[in-house]
Structure 1
């Protein structure tokens, strides 16, 4: 009788590797399944790697942004744009605040002048929730337009993007495309209908990006969908459309631009992001700092620091209003490809867990922490935390705020930038001086931390944050505790 020899350590390792090679692997960055990209060609390789395959870093970045048309009065061209596309039926998205104002009236007049049939959806919620987004999806699936027109702020543009996406996938469940790990993070593999976006606030930059954000009520946090296919075909950037913004709206919208530019400027380099995608379709929209995004982000920061205070103080300062809208668009191109990190990751549970705070200047019937407020309120402490990772970039940003960095020490870069941001916020006025002004206490910090951790899409780009979950919890708790009052 022959006795089968016991398997050696070498043979067991080879068996494990063969098993790995023959099964799909889950990509932690994109949360989708794909064949494992690590072939094992020889026993020598198998022995060298033991049973752990190397995680390859990214080696490329892509730039994607909407076509942009900028100028006073260009809203009147939108009817011609749809006619040039051969479109005869358009779904128009706006909100009840914009419905009776000049931007939507001018856009509708432009459609009518070219004989474009349209239907209007004006039930967009400012700071959308999943319930309001689902209502918009149902409406779009019923109307089945040939194209979309979004006239409004980020909430309108984001809601329109999502409605357009799910109208193209009538069979899809709601979490199908939502960012992982909250949703399934399914890539978009169908062509969406043309979308033209007309921003009426100088803040989100949503007219340039494939990102759409909403509150997921069940998780008490914001999440969203990010894919290049969602970006508008054209962004109509008309400074005349922002003239009716109340000063508080200008302020909070501008703070979103400020954090977009700072976060994308200081995000980890694209070449440090892991793992490398196995297929270009899996390369995320948020890729990390890169040489092209850097140009857009830094110029947006410079314009915001210079012109936001002027635009808030003087509604008749036409130059400041125009420059802030330009800054928002530039920042959109920058962060739409580089991404944002901790300020935005923390902002999502801050907004989602709001119970009673209602920011001045917003004509809504529900509590609201505007997105720009929720991202800026932790910014001083966030950049104190990230400073050690790239002192040069943090000092360069501080210099934009007017800080003399000639004799600054690298180890103080985070403190210097954090102090500069705090001073800027205080001088801007009408801003909460920390999350305690939003109604949060130290007892809320654990829940805010747990609401931040699932924001993997942005946290993976945070400098000084490539750690295990326990350490991440400790870091987030420290940032939030220091942000109770700044």
Structure 2
């Protein structure tokens, strides 16, 4: 007789809580039934200096004969894009290049990219660039497979129809040239929906790349400002996924597995990736920003971005990201130093991190132990910190980290926002239901939620 093997305590705890709630004698409102399972999905990842040169063989191994290479005008001039072209040419693979990706994409730039891809009818996509490029390639892949679809069909509800992706998409290989979004691992693509003055996106695990080629040599050309901003995205990915509500507190339970969202809540597998990415980012981001020759720090940040991508790609993010979308979409005219763009820009990582101290002061009471563990990752001695002060301890550590990193706004005022903007920022956040549903401590009732968000934006005006 084989002895029963006891599952790990964390899973056991989840299972006991779920089992205790289940009752079959009386019917339940399906919309109020809590989740009981989580699902792990991520792209295949290859990591190592020089692995970009293998991409032609990868495409050949996938049977690709017509490849759409997606990049932006800056990356097209860099070694990463040149290596991709050489690798495809060596294998005799036909390709066309779309190099008009917009940094911080808008729905109009996404539609332009889709219009390029549809008549070419590629049998594979190859994205070379940062998160904006990879996200654009994901949506080119999606809408060429659904040529009859309206653009809003797949956009996250309530801004769009939230239609699930039920067809197999073409292979997509992602070659990241920044260390931030983790988009090479996730089924999420983000863009500005201009008419609504809000960032939104499309999220489904079937949207994720087939393969992410993470080559640290490709991130060496990042300017310091881009390293900082992209690294702050990693920081918030890891912090938010680590502190999101547990997966089995999410409602509603999906009626069909295809409806289970990509962002599911904190779970034991994502936890491992998120906490590891947080520790690495705290250690290596300041080094990577300050020293362009610190190849170890740059490599570790690319790895941290990928790890955080696996973590948040399954657990999700919450308030920092939900609040960031109207912050960037309603930019009053701020142009971040170090970005060579023609108009105002609040880089994504900056828009996410600027509210982080306020956010974690707010979420601290929901799970003091996790907030203390996060503060400890910043080097805080938490032995004497009271549970009720956990959020404040993490917020103070974040504030100091941002100040030491340099060239970061010390709150929304530093971006040009004032009290007169708060109501519009709140209204731009409320539609971000996909991430707000994972925010610990956020009210379900609309007016109460609106007041909480107003308080958060006011608190985020200064660190």
Structure 1 stretches of 4+ moved >6 Å: none
Which residue, out of 417, 428, 440, partners 1:463?
440
Q: What is residue 338 of structure 2 aligned with on the other side?
A: 361
Q: What is residue 241 of structure 1 aligned with on the other side?
A: 218
Task: Deviation per CA, 1:322-378: give whole Å up to 9, x if none.
Answer: 000000000000000000000000000001001311111212112111100000000
> Residue 69 of structure 1: SS of its match in structure 2?
strand
Cα distance in structure 1, aligned partners of 2:128 and 2:85 = 10
Instruction: Name the count of aligned residue pairs.
Output: 441
> Residue 77 of structure 2: SS of its match in structure 1?
coil
Task: Deviation per CA, 1:386-414: give whole Å up to 9, x if none.
Answer: 00000000000000101000111000000
Radius of gyration: which is bigger?
A: 1
Which residue, out of 86, 91, 99, partners 1:122?
99
TM-score (norm 1): 0.89
**1:112 CA drift (Å):** 0.6
**1:131 CA drift (Å):** 0.4
1:274-285 alignment runs, 5 A limit: 274-285=251-262
Is 1:171 the counterpart of 2:148? The answer is yes
Q: What is residue 32 of structure 1 aligned with on the other side?
A: none
Q: What is residue 393 of structure 2 aligned with on the other side?
A: 416
> Residue 76 of structure 2: SS of its match in structure 1?
coil
Cα distance in structure 1, aligned partners of 2:266 and 2:75 = 35
Deviates further, 137-146 or 445-454: 137-146
Cα distance in structure 1, aligned partners of 2:332 and 2:419 = 16
Q: CA 1:412–1:45 in 2, change beyond 3 Å: closer, same or farther?
A: closer
1:52-451 alignment runs, 5 A limit: 55-451=32-428
Q: What is residue 460 of structure 2 aligned with on the other side?
A: 483
Whether the aligned pair in 1 keeps the contact of 2:43 and 2:211 (CA below 8 Å) is yes
Task: Deviation per CA, 1:81-137: give whole Å up to 9, x if none.
Answer: 001111111000000111111110011111111111110000000000000001011
Structure 2: which 5+ residue stretches go unaligned?
A: 1-23
Whether the aligned pair in 2 keeps the contact of 1:197 and 1:234 (CA below 8 Å) is yes
Whether the aligned pair in 2 keeps the contact of 1:196 and 1:236 (CA below 8 Å) is yes
Whether the aligned pair in 2 keeps the contact of 1:98 and 1:152 (CA below 8 Å) is yes
Q: What is residue 4 of structure 2 aligned with on the other side?
A: none
Whether the aligned pair in 2 keeps the contact of 1:384 and 1:415 (CA below 8 Å) is yes
Cα distance in structure 2, aligned partners of 1:92 and 1:54 = 42
Whether the aligned pair in 2 keeps the contact of 1:97 and 1:363 (CA below 8 Å) is no
Whether the aligned pair in 1 keeps the contact of 2:30 and 2:253 (CA below 8 Å) is no
Whether the aligned pair in 1 keeps the contact of 2:31 and 2:251 (CA below 8 Å) is no
Whether the aligned pair in 2 keeps the contact of 1:460 and 1:466 (CA below 8 Å) is no
Cα distance in structure 1, aligned partners of 2:175 and 2:398 = 30
Task: Deviation per CA, 1:43-68: give whole Å up to 9, x if none.
Answer: x958xx7xx66721000000000000
Q: What is residue 474 of structure 1 aligned with on the other side?
A: 451
Whether the aligned pair in 1 keeps the contact of 2:31 and 2:252 (CA below 8 Å) is no
Cα distance in structure 2, aligned partners of 1:45 and 1:270 = 24
Cα distance in structure 2, aligned partners of 1:53 and 1:98 = 48
Cα distance in structure 1, aligned partners of 2:55 and 2:436 = 37
Cα distance in structure 1, aligned partners of 2:231 and 2:305 = 8
Whether the aligned pair in 1 keeps the contact of 2:361 and 2:392 (CA below 8 Å) is yes
